Structure 1
């Protein structure tokens, strides 16, 4: 048995899990499934709360448990949030700072997972630019901690039925996870009910007897633990985001972690790897490292808009480890031991957190008073020109955005399609192109929805409305026989999506339903990462300069080549927006189409109204 309550083997498991998460967020391709390390943490958390309950017996106090959790989680979280705050302020991008403060508030209330679920914004910052995105998992854990004592209380009251009740709860949550995987993956990812089974699996292990036949400390237990860790690493390296059913990966990770805790969770077996001090140390600082790594990587993404070199990413990860050690030493560990006489480290830690809270109280009113922006006149001009207004007569309600379902799609959008119509069919990129086309042509009709490429017989994970909308589009084409159909989208955006194969099937379907309809394939516009306005600001590009080097054209060039091949095989016209707006790696960034100077795109690739009109005037669609 290990002395005391400390079990080094659990720190080994924490070390593997946090390393997987950090390397995944750092963008290492051989850890594409590293996000499953969070699922391992869920199992550990469920195990630990149940072990505390099981060992406390009648002396268990929910209030004492919540006090320990508060001291374990909140001080280090507050310190990280407030120390990162001024650096987010320096980014000089109001939307990022505004979002950061909102995320910080919800994270301290332990409802950040609801915040991210409700604000999965297709037009907002990409995931790797959100410094506090990772705190959703802390909210899930705390929500579990709120319901777990109540569940355990009823289990104690109904001992004869607790096995059946536990199985029913876990199975229900697991089934919900599979269902949401298909129809609402954002909810399945962020919300506690679909994660409950993972934490509950760890809790169940805490109440199970250890497997018999293995003597404490023998080599078989150590070998078994090593095999389980190797299998986890294989999972982290092979199971990526491209898999449609993410719950399968979670289930494997949970089973492996549960088996590991069944071997070592009570301290009856020892593991050779636990003798490695750096591995144990990584496990000890795993919480602080989890807190610090994502903000640093997000700030790196926000500040450096050319591809970061591997050495820069490695140095950022190393800095995360250094800050995690400092956080563990000065904040996390002293606060966790708080309860007896105040030590010097506890006094220092308390002073630091108190000073940071004062900083928050000073900065938030200033933020509210200024609207959250710290832009100079130049920055304001650039951002205003990224949001040129669309005249009401050229806007369209024939576009599903957000989480609107197919039932809310206006019927008049479909009935307006006729034999003389030019139908623009696609995603939000198609919608932004249609704005300009509608300005220069009277025959434009539109059927579009966010994140829905115009392809038939394809199920898009988490977006069942795409299938419904695309089926309706084919039905309207068969009914109205429009003069032409324009298929356009951000072709490389959809996950697990072969654009050329899907588009070719759609082309053949249209030809079969309406042979006289001309089909025009239009490629994606140039993609600017993270977005055009921020590139101009960060690189101090002169505002009178019309063109800008674009280093993110590779994906558009690849999808253009695929679409061009489809067009040639089927005798269709293909129009490359990249070729229209770019020469080599230099692309148009400003236009002067409507008697005013405006940016071409409002974000990473959606046209502004002026940019859309500029492109529409150059498209030759025929009469």
Structure 2
């Protein structure tokens, strides 16, 4: 049996339909909000083509693992290696230490096709911060190669022992993989996105076509309808989905089934959709799709990284054209020359040389990975600014994020200010952590002693709904805080801190703002309890939320000599806080609460500052740095003294 799969122009066209939405999604072209499904389409195509070859060779009895992996290496590795070398040179001169460290780690792991595990531990693919990770896209290559490390041996076992049950077994594995992805995607989306066993169903969808799970349609109208429906399912996913979707899982099913329908319809003969996909321009993009995929993302990341400000429409067009040019050059001069197969006697030499190149790439990546991102590349002033992002956060350990048992047993609770009986309690979320240093300074000036109880994304709102899945319920944690206060009547002031706009906006989006489990109701219960227990209540209104990582952006601007206006417009902060202000105004009419507006310290009429005396006021986009917390300590001190107007 011939192991060569007949060339199909429509599949190359389908590759173009896969890669172009990915590129346009990464460029931020609004209509292509679901362009990321192109990767899922690629998985189906790959599963079909590779399994077609492997399955036929297995049945014919001349499958060779050496020949199979030689083909995979020739298909993927040369272009990948060239991209890693050239992007490594650019990264050396462009990336800040933390970003360069992450790049170097990914560079080495990409060679071993383990990048997906790396990013699984470090990133959310749909988070804006991934725009600074040039090698993020290599996760999909790793998933695919891990699948093909396991799949050929599995197929050989099935052919040998259950030849008549191959499709049933593969279908069962695909269903299990999809069910697993759907079960976990809302709880741990990174796991569903990056790990091979939860992506395997997409590759298996193509594999099942190759093993004949559905026979080709003889009737032309059925094939025409299937192909048209399949293309429509892919296109609708590209335009209908967005990065807010729980993905992958069921949400990826239309694109995967759509790709399968288009491929399967073409097995039985040509269709209108097949002829459309066979247009020369689509076939061209299909031929360069792998190299275009390899080059577009690091190109976009590097351009945005240097530009700092959002890319203009013209700049996006130029980047798209440049990405296509790089993709063509890589396909023409790297991919194509390496495709020719070797005689078995030369194969050992080929694997040996590949190993040497892979080893060299890993060796090159080590200095950046094991050092602090080669920080010596930066001027001292720039390095000092960038290092704020990784500064040691005061009071983070061991006192931030205690368990209920920790609170009940008063274990590892930090003291703010002077030692002694507590005068006040700082209660809130991670924004309370960022103010703990300022309160410590303020309390020491006044000779006061305080305690600190806070958990990430846990507003000090009794009985409100959960805002993030966690091993420790915010409701249980807040009830433990109440028990702590009951045991310590000497605490006369409680300071409530939170990123309020996040909770109010989150409630409004889900229609729970006025419900008993909404944030407003929960905050009212907290204040009502505190006032009735004769404690003074201080609400710290949130600091301005910045649209970017402040230390990183300031460091890049300083390093590149860019003179940019980086302050946040004051009206944007006020617009963001509008709903929260209405809540606080209503509570102030009902209860004698004291309010601290830190924006009055950090902003003027024109805008909100992100640095003072050359140092960042934030350690990321929304949490004050140690210097920022020091800067607002005077306002916090006024609140501790009760000198603010109520």
**TM superposition score category, shorter chain reference:** 0.7 to 0.9
Compute the displacement of 1:325 (Å): 0.6
Q: Post-superposition shift, 1:25?
A: 1.2
Counterpart CA distance in 1 for 2:356 and 2:570 is: 47
Task: Report how far residue 382 of structure 1 moved.
Answer: 2.9
Instruction: Find 1:523's aligned residue among 534, 538, 542.
Output: 542
Distance verdict in 2 for CA 1:203–1:457, change over 3 Å: farther
Q: 1:563 aligns with which of 574, 577, 580?
A: 580
Q: Deviations over 1:549-581 (max 9, x none)?
A: 425877644331221122123336654444431
- Aligned in 2, Cα 1:34/1:575: closer, same or farther, shift over 3 Å? farther
Say whether the 8 Å CA contact 2:22–2:39 is kept in structure 1: yes
Q: Provide, for residues 404-462 of structure 1, a one-character-per-residue CA deviation record: whole Å limited to 9, x for no partner.
A: 998888952698899953333113x33112222233234543343445566665455xx
SS at match of 2:139: helix
Q: Which residue of 2 aligns with 1:309?
A: 312
Aligned-residue offset at 1:467? 6.6
TM-score, structure 2 normalization: 0.81
2:469 equivalent to 1:464? yes
Do 2:22 and 2:38's aligned partners in 1 also have CA atoms closer than 8 Å? Answer: yes
Q: Is the 8 A contact 1:140 1:191 kept in 2?
A: yes
Q: Secondary structure at the match of 2:230?
A: helix
Aligned to 1:618: 635
1:252 paired to 2:254? yes
Q: Are the counterparts in 2 of residues 46 and 199 from structure 1 also a CA contact under 8 Å? A: yes
The aligned counterpart of 2:171 is 167
CA offsets per residue over residues 370-427 of structure 1, 9 Å max, x none? 9613112332343356666566xx5552324xxx998888952698899953333113
Distance in 1 (CA, whole Å) between partners of 2:54 and 2:239 is 35
CA contact (8 A) 1:46 1:202 kept: yes
- Tell me how far apart the structure 2 counterparts of residues 398 and 356 of structure 1 sit (CA, whole Å): 45
- For structure 1, the 5+ residue unaligned runs are 342-346
Structure 2 counterpart of 1:200, from 175, 191, 204? 204
User: How many residues are treated as equivalent by the alignment?
Assistant: 596
The equivalent of 1:480 in structure 2 is 485
* C-alpha spacing 1:40/1:562, structure 2 compared with 1 (3 Å): same
Give distance in 2, aligned partners of 1:553 and 1:43: 49
Q: Deviations over 1:455-494 (max 9, x none)?
A: 665455xx52177134321442366267434131284599
- Residue 535 (structure 2) pairs with residue 534 (structure 1): no
2:134 corresponds to 1:131: yes
Matched, 1:12 2:13: yes
> Retained in 1: the 8 A contact 2:427–2:452?
yes
* Pair 1:387–1:152, CA change in 2 (3 A): closer
Residue 630 of structure 2 is aligned to residue 580 of structure 1: no
Q: Which residue of 1 aligns with 2:75?
A: 72
How far residue 183 of structure 1 moved from its aligned partner, in angstroms, is 2.4
Aligned with 1:47: secondary structure? helix
1:316-361 residue CA offsets vs partner (Å, 9 max, x unmatched): 12211110011111111221234379xxxxx9xxx9x999997986
Shift of 1:605: 3.2
Aligned pairs for 1:312-391 within 5 A: 312-339=315-342, 372-373=374-375, 374-384=377-387
CA–CA separation in structure 2 for the residues paired with 1:333 and 1:541: 38
Change (3 A) 1:113 1:265: farther
Gap change, CA 1:172 and 1:542, over 3 Å in 2:
closer
Inter-CA distance 145–51: structure 2 relative to 1 (3 Å threshold): same
Residue segments in structure 2 that go unaligned for 5+ positions in a row: 345-349, 416-420
| Pair 281,164 (structure 1): closer, same or farther in 2 beyond 3 Å | same
Under a length normalisation based on structure 1, what TM-score does the superposition of the two structures give? Answer: 0.83
Q: Deviations over 1:236-269 (max 9, x none)?
A: 2122222346422112222222222221257665
Q: Provide the C-alpha distance between the structure 1 equivalents of 2:504 and 2:48, rounded to a whole number of angstroms.
A: 37
Residues 504-555 of structure 1, C-alpha deviations (whole Å, 9 max, x = no match): 2432342565553636252243415243353254256999x9x964258776
- Who wins on radius of gyration, i.e. which is larger? 2
More off after superposition, 411-420 vs 507-516? 411-420
Measure, in 1, the Cα distance between the counterparts of 2:405 and 2:199.
29
8 Å Cα contact 1:528-1:604 kept in structure 2: yes
Checking the alignment, whether the CA contact within 8 Å between 2:108 and 2:365 is kept in structure 1 is: no
Is 1:446 matched with 2:452?
A: yes
Partners of 2:571 and 2:411 in 1: CA distance: 35
Matches within 5 A, 1:106-117: 106-117=109-120
- Partners in 1 of 2:72 and 2:505 — Cα distance? 38
Distance in structure 1 (CA, Å) of the matches to 2:576 and 2:236: 31
- Does residue 189 of the first structure (1) align with residue 193 of the second (2)? yes
Query: Given the superposition, is the C-alpha separation of residues 332 and 508 from structure 1 closer, same or farther in structure 2, using an over 3 Å criterion?
Result: same
Structure 2 CA distance, aligned partners of 1:268 and 1:83?
41
Does the C-alpha gap of structure 1 residues 582 and 121 become closer, same or farther in structure 2, counting only changes over 3 Å? farther
> In the alignment, is the contact (CA less than 8 A) between 2:217 and 2:223 conserved in 1?
no
Q: CA RMSD in A?
A: 4.0
Cα 1:458–1:236, aligned 2, differ >3 Å: closer, same or farther? farther
Tell me the equivalent position of 1:22. 23
Say whether 1:243 aligns with 2:245.
yes
Task: Single out whichever of 241-250 and 103-112 deviates more from structure 2.
Answer: 241-250
Q: Deviations over 1:68-112 (max 9, x none)?
A: 011101111111111111211121512222211110100110111
**Which piece of structure 1 moves more, 245-254 or 308-317?**
245-254
Matched, 1:44 2:45: yes
Cα distance in 1 for partners of 2:472, 2:573 equals 24
Partner SS, residue 193 of structure 2? helix
Matches of 1:188 and 1:494 in 2, distance apart?
29
Shift of 1:116: 0.9
Alpha carbons of 1:44 and 1:521: their partners in 2 closer, same or farther (altered >3 Å)? farther
Quickly say closer, same or farther: Cα 1:268–1:497, change in 2 above 3 A.
farther
Q: Which residue of 2 aligns with 1:104?
A: 107
> What SS does structure 2 have at the residue aligned with 1:234?
helix
Match of 1:344 in 2: none
Kindly indicate whether the alpha-carbon contact (under 8 Å) linking 2:423 and 2:450 is maintained by their aligned counterparts in 1.
no
Aligned ranges 1:77-92 → 2 under 5 Å? 77-92=80-95
Alpha-carbon shift at residue 137 of structure 1 (Å):
0.8
